[in-house]
Chain A
Amino acid sequence: MIRLAAVLAAFILLVLPAEAHRLKLFVQAAGGAITGYGFYIGGGRPEGVELVITTPDGKEVRRLRTGSDGDFSFTPPVPGRYHLALASGDGHFAEVDVSTDGGPTTAVPAGKTAQAPLPAPTDLDARIATAVDAAVARQIRPLLEAYDAADGRVRFNDLLGGLGWIVGIAGLWAWFRSRRSGHGN
């Protein structure tokens, strides 16, 4: 048993650098367009995978395929909230709600989404606002990407916590059985 435990420990250390495995969708809305990419948390991008874009009430807007880097871009006909679903074809799914007047979000009040996609170039204030929006979107993109990559990653502490749970459940089960069959004392 001890040797087996040693092999198990070696196995854990061996695979430690690898990370969890889950399909995720990074999406950013800027300038009325929706751009982003799908990625596996363990590394790798889903290539040529179908992305289905629907409105919040489930009406299909568009179907497209991701490029070689898992990337896609899409300009919705009217600004508003959209639901993006990615199915990688091997049983992985990712979905995200996005609103074209802000970052990827699920909780935007419905009344706030009615912003014009690109204001008329005659209005200086609106042009500045558009330029600032684009610059901010460009600047915070790496931040959002890092956040999405970190979210859902398997952390060493969580793995150890899970092992602790398994040991605890086994102990509880043994204790329960020992009480029931009466040879605990």
Chain B
Amino acid sequence: MAHIPDGVLSLPVLAAGTLAGVGGLALGIRRLTDRDIPRTALLAAVFFIASSQAFSLGPTSVHLLLGGLTGLVLGWKAFPAIFVGLLLQTLLFGFGGLTTLGVDLVNMALPGVLLAAVVRPFIRVDRPARSAAFTGGAAALAVVITAVLVGVEIALSEPAFAPALGVMAAAYLPLAGIEAAVTAFVTLYLLKVKPEMIVAPAVLGTAI
């Protein structure tokens, strides 16, 4: 869905997306300490599996993106995690393309990272329902922003291929709902089992 194949985007869009992707990747790798490696790899695996599996939904078929969840758990380290997932999907399954790797990376990682940074202060162990509502909302919004980014990039590159807004909405809105439910569920689970994975350290310190 959000995997834009080779040969669709124009050179300026590709260059801008690749630069932004490299920037995000550098930011993420700089923050990747020894203790973060297993968690980053785990989320890369979750992203890789979840976004490789599509299911039929009405006239189209969708797959999870999990940008919101990845951003929530990893912050900027979502860039290296999603990069590895996207690279493997391109090489193994032919999703997307090598030249569009940077653009696809920004589309899927950036909305989740930024929205997660916004909602992270509101996640508290003692308020699980409210926290899940926030993370679910952020995940849904991340899907919508990813869809808008994809649409704008395609429209900028190839006006003839400009996605129809109606079709876009029909395809992405149910996905946004599903993604919100999955992320809210995972938030509830993690708050019970391993809160330090998603709660900001400062908030965690005051809550327990």
Residues of A bordering B, CB below 8 Å: 1, 3-5, 7-8, 11-12, 15-16, 18-22, 40-47, 52, 87-93, 152, 154, 158-159, 161-163, 165-167, 169-170, 173-174, 177-178, 181
Contacts and interface: CB of A to CB of B under 8 A. Distances in A.
B41 A154 contact: no
A90 B172 contact: yes
B119 interface: no
Instruction: For chain B, give the interface size range.
Output: 35 or more
B88 interface: yes
Contact of B92 (A44, A161, A178): A161
A19 B52 CA distance: 8
B93 A90 contact: no
B5 A93 contact: yes
Contact of B61 (A1, A8, A43): A43
A72 B38 CA distance: 49
Query: Which of A4, A21, A40, A45 is packed against the most chain B CB atoms within 10 Å?
Result: A21
Given A19-B54, A165-B88, A7 B189 contact: yes
Contacts of B167: 88-90
A43 B56 contact: yes
22 contacts: A1-B38, A1-B194, A3-B193, A7-B189, A11-B50, A20-B52, A20-B54, A20-B93, A40-B54, A43-B55, A44-B59, A44-B60, A52-B160, A88-B167, A91-B2, A91-B154, A91-B168, A158-B93, A163-B49, A166-B88, A170-B37, A173-B37
B122 interface: no
A16 B55 CA distance: 10
Contacts of A1: 38, 194
Contacts of A174: 34, 37
Given A87-B161, A91-B4, A165-B88, A170 B38 contact: yes
Contact of B163 (A3, A91, A159): A91
A137 B55 CA distance: 32
A89 B168 contact: yes
A146 to B, nearest CB: 18
Contacts of A152: 93-94
B62 interface: yes
Given A152-B94, A162-B88, A93 B41 contact: no
B92 A158 contact: yes
Contacts of A90: 1, 60, 147, 163, 167-168, 170-172
A71 B161 CA distance: 19
Q: Which 3 A-B pairs have the closest CB atoms?
A: A21-B54, A42-B54, A170-B41
